Amino acid sequence: MNVLLKEWVGDFGLPPFAAITDNDFGPAFEAALAEARRNIAGIAEAAESPSFANTIEALELAEGSLDRVAGVFYNLAGADSTPAREALQRDLAPKMSAFSSEVTNNKALFAKVEALWQGRDGLQLAPEQLRVLTLYRQMFVRAGAVLEGEAAARLTAVKSRLAVLGTQFGQNLLADERAWFMPLAEADLEGLPEFVVAAARAAGVEKDAAGPVVTLSRSLIVPFLQFSPRRALRQKAYEAWVARGANGGATDNRAIAAEILALRDERAKLLGYASFADYKLEPEMAKTPAAVRDLLMRVWAPAKRKALADAAVLEALLQADGVQGPLEPWDWRYYSEKRRVAEHDLDETVLKPYLGLEAMLAAQFDCANRLFGLEFRPLDIPLYHADARAWEVTRRGEHVAVFIGDYFARGSKRSGAWCSAMRSQRKLGGDQRPIVVNVCNFAKGDPALLSYDDARTLFHEFGHALHQMLSNVTYGFISGTSVARDFVELPSQLYEHWMEVPEVLEKHARHYKTGEAMPTDLLKRLLDAGSYDQGFATVEFVSSALVDLAFHEGAAPADPMQKQAEVLESIGMPRAIRMRHATPHFAHVFSGDGYSSGYYSYMWSEVMDADAFAAFEEAGDPFDPATAARLEEFILSAGGSEEPDVLYTKFRGRMPGVEPLLKGRGLLQA
């Protein structure tokens, strides 16, 4: 029997990674899809009258084998791709879309869901059950269950094509990132800190190059842009980085982006919406494109003022170096780093030895222990890659979750950082405890030393992990991070705040060689510079979010690159800053529709996370037990059991304004 379909009887029901081969996945998906289809048909065709148990709860359990197989495969496909896995991803995209459409297009099944919804007042449902029923009906309706004939068939075809295109977009991007590297001569290493040199040499080994190289991994190219005094090399590396997905040939994503936008617009029109943004934002906290634009523009104006003021300072530094001409995008990070050293006496090469990966892992675990009583025990078990590590998570001796961390960049891993679950928490059908995965792309080293941004990323993804681990609901449909897109970033961005708590840094930010704590004056300078360069960072982000919104709130643009240029011109984008994610490599928006019309959600959540951490500050203790208990009860354990604004108000007593965000980014005075 296929190892993926057997009962997993090892420790904590973990997948038997050592026994799984790429050849197992295809047959396992076929068998699991067939089983799911049989289960769905049984629910739809059952003669008895619909009940919450025989319809909604049965649907919750109908795809159990498929969930298990997909939970393993898609995690591995993102973190450790192989040609076989990429081929299977392409094959699966239309098949999985077809299965999803079969379910939501099943008229007999939808009739049962609709009957329950219409008669909900007489069902005596618990609040969580009513919420699940509401969301199931919403899912069916938004997927086109009420459409008939040609419209229903066309929507199915559109969704299938979108699934294929999203997979292709992501694989093209990975191919571009994997293929490009820039060899460095020994002379090109002059001026680079030792940690950058070490990362470049390690990358050269991975690429089978004759010496050190710069790759398009963010953990290598960003510090290279920060520290390399060789402007021509910075320009070459930067232009390759921003050209991902736009290099012509088989991996060019520009035509794919145009087709995706046209199909999304058609999808929205088939469902009766004025635009895809109207369709996508309806179930989110923001609700409307106008609300999103209002938030983004309230932040854009002060961010742009700050960025332009900073650009003038950096351009003066550039010209003081004897360079004639304006500040360019490949200059910003280099001169900003110089300015940071001059104004804040903060040198990344001095800072990084105190931010070792092991120390920061200990810090994130320690904070989780102090806030929520969680304990983390390393596990010596086989995983899917030698770089991956695992911990058992317990509380008061009771098993809570298994946490897997996969932290180092490699050619088989897509870029970025993310949290996923190989298994989500639920109580229905047995007390299922989660298997949660954090994936990052840090530079490997001996030891691995993090930048301050890397350390924030580590805490960010662990905040998502806590949302999964501490989930305490009955139904998987609303478990963990199954919440509105503009609410899902609240736990992750909130957790970043604990990395900046002085007592946390005093305890854990210790020199990897000497074990000495970060000097008090260095710690103070670090915290004082917390909002340094936030004009740049905010402009990078908000411009990307505004382009995403513009793509989806009107008719689909025939040429997305032209539309991108028009949006940037209309808002007066500073010339020395580019979008954080240009269209051809905007994976958040085009590798799937999770963040389409939704890239703003990081900032929407940041409005809440700044206010949420203020609750601890107001209590006089960043680890205040009562505030932590409310945070767990109403945010981290609640999943999608209630509307997010209801949950947040229960935690905080009110909804926040934008001022804490502007204050945190140092933009109030801009």
Average pLDDT over every residue of 426-431: 96
pLDDT class for 530, splitting at 50, 70, 90? confident
Are 483 and 396 found together in one domain? yes
Cα 314 to its chain centre, rounded Å, is: 31
Question: Do 96 and 23 fall into the same domain?
Answer: yes
Q: Provide the pLDDT confidence category of residue 664 given band limits of 50, 70 and 90.
A: confident
CB contact at 8 A, 257 and 558: no
> Last residue of a domain, which of 227, 244, 261?
244
- Contacts with 652 (C-beta within 8 Å, 6 or more apart), sequence order: 611, 612, 615
pLDDT at 20 > cutoff 70: yes
Average pLDDT, the chain: 96
Same domain for 541 and 500, yes or no, is no
589 pLDDT higher than 60: yes
What pLDDT is recorded for position 330?
Answer: 98
- Looking at the fold, whether 427 and 478 belong to one and the same domain comes out as yes
Q: What is the DSSP string of 255-322?
A: HHHHHHHHHHHHHHHHTT-SSHHHHHHTTSSS-SHHHHHHHHHHHHHHHHHHHHHHHHHHHHHHHHTT
Which residues 6+ apart lie within 8 Å of 188 measured at CB?
A: 212, 228, 230, 233
Domain count, the chain: 4
Mean pLDDT (whole number) for 284-296? 97
Let me know whether 185 and 200 are in one domain: yes
Residues 27 and 138 in one domain: yes
Residue 165: per-residue pLDDT? 98
Check residue 420 and give left, alpha or beta (phi > 0: left; psi -120 to 50: alpha).
beta
The band of 306, judged by pLDDT with boundaries at 50, 70 and 90, is very high
Does residue 188 fall inside a structural domain?
yes
Instruction: Find the radius of gyration of the CA atoms of the chain.
Output: 25
Is residue 166 domain-resident? no
Catalytic-labelled residue, pool 461, 606, 632, 642? 461
Q: pTM value? A: 0.94
Distance in angstroms (rounded) separating the CA atoms of residues 599 and 579 = 12
Are 192 and 237 contacting, i.e. CB atoms less than 8 angstroms apart?
no
Question: Residue 181, SS3?
Answer: strand
Query: Does residue 6 belong to any structural domain of this protein?
Result: no
Regarding whether 498 and 383 lie in a shared domain, the answer is yes
Neighbours of 615 (CB within 10 A): 18
**What CATH number does residue 578 fall under?**
1.10.1370.10
- Residue 175 located in a structural domain: no
**Both 573 and 658 in a single domain?**
no
Instruction: Tell me if residue 461 is catalytic.
Output: yes
Across the range 534-559, mean pLDDT stands at 97
Do residues 456 and 569 both lie within one domain? no
Residue 655 — very low, low, confident or very high, per pLDDT cuts 50/70/90?
Answer: very high
Q: How far apart are CA 110 and CA 40, in angstroms?
A: 11
pLDDT tens string 409-427: 998 999 899 999 999 999 9
Residue 1 lies in a domain: no
pLDDT tens digits, one per residue of 314-371: 999 999 999 998 999 999 999 999 999 999 998 888 999 999 999 999 999 999 999 9
Q: What CATH number corresponds to the domain at position 493?
A: 1.10.1370.40
Domain range for residue 557? 251-346+534-599
Mark whether 439 and 512 lie in a shared domain: yes
Separation of alpha carbons 175 and 170, rounded Å: 9
Checking DSSP bridges between strand 398-408 and strand 374-379, what pairing results, if any?
Answer: unpaired
Say whether both 357 and 436 belong to one domain.
yes
Positive or negative: CA dihedral 71, 77, 79, 80: positive
Q: For residue 1, what pLDDT band results from cuts at 50, 70 and 90?
A: confident
Q: What is the mean pLDDT of residues 72-81?
A: 96
Burial 572-583 (b: 16+ CB within 10 A, else e): ebbebbbbbbbb
Cis peptide leading into residue 447 (ω within 30°): yes
Q: Which amino acid is at 456?
A: R
Residues 335 and 261 grouped into a single domain:
yes
Q: For residue 670, is pLDDT > 60?
A: no
Number of residues that make up the chain: 670
Instruction: Specify if 158 maps to a domain.
Output: no
Q: Is the pLDDT of residue 669 over 80?
A: no
- Asked if residue 516 has pLDDT above 50, the reply is yes
- From 244, 272, 294, the end of a domain falls on 244
